[in-house]
Amino acid sequence: MSAKRVGEQLGRAYPAFAGLAPLAQFQVFLLRQFVGLFLLAPVMGAISVATYSIIGEKTTRSIEALLELMRSFDTISAPESESR
């Protein structure tokens, strides 16, 4: 299929493309197909980072030491009640 024929078919399917050159019509058409993927990419990246941090913490148990350290600071710095 030639570029001119593809341009004609895209011009009939999408009237807004009629003023563009055949190559430009094809480029706009392809870009429109990937817009959804461009919107989903940041969401998928954030989900994968969050999942990895949760699963990674569960497997390495890295936060337990930090929580114990915070508990020990609370017991050291907590004032005891003074009786008068």
Burial (Cβ within 10 Å: 0-12, 13-18, ≥19) of residue 52: exposed
Per the listing, tokens 């998928």 go with: 44
For residues 3 and 22, the answer to whether their CB atoms sit within 8 Å is: yes
Per-residue pLDDT, 81: 57
pLDDT digits (tens, 9 = 90+) for 24-68: 888 888 888 888 888 899 999 999 999 888 888 878 877 777 778
The C-alpha atoms of residue 83 and residue 67 are separated, in whole angstroms, by: 31
Calculate the CA dihedral of residues 14, 15, 18, 24 and round it to 10 degrees: -30
Give the 3-state secondary structure of residue 66: helix
In the chain, domain spans: 3-77
Per-residue pLDDT, 57: 80
DSSP structure class, residue 61: -
